[in-house]
Amino acid sequence: MSDNRRRHRVFFTKHTEYHLRGEECVGVRDRASGAWMVQHAALRLHALALPELPHSSEWIGQRIHFWGRATDVLTSPVVAIGRPRIEEVLDYVSQARSGFIHENPSPDLEASLPAALSA
């Protein structure tokens, strides 16, 4: 990646959003329902190749190939690329601490977190 300090990007396919931190998939969300897919096979996998910033738009129409020791995932074609909102970053499975994961958090998630998690 380039010198850009913002490491999070969202790759949109027809039905799914793939949220990445660098090359790692840290969140997958169904576009129709808005529900986070906490059991999706792409979670925690790394993309084999991604476009360098600021050339992300060149990736439209391409597929992301995620790889891992036990499984691989090939997405449908990317239709758009963007940046996540800060509240979305707080919902990523990679933010889970001490075994806590909130499957589909509400907008006031921070208010409902135990004090140890919201610090």
Q: What is the mean pLDDT of each run of 10 residues along the chain (119 residues)?
A: 64 96 92 92 91 73 91 94 86 56 45 43
Tokens 């931190």 belong to 21
Q: Residue 2 falls within a domain, yes or no?
A: no
The domain in which residue 100 lies consists of 8-118
How crowded is residue 21: how many other Cβ atoms within 10 Å of its Cβ? 15
pLDDT at 74: 95
Tokens 């992300």 belong to 56
Domain count, the chain: 1
Q: Residue 21 falls within a domain, yes or no?
A: yes
Q: Residue 1 falls within a domain, yes or no?
A: no
pLDDT at 92: 79
Q: Residue 50 falls within a domain, yes or no?
A: yes
Q: Residue 3 falls within a domain, yes or no?
A: no
Q: Residue 68 falls within a domain, yes or no?
A: yes
pLDDT at 109: 43
Q: Could you tell me the pTM of the whole model?
A: 0.72
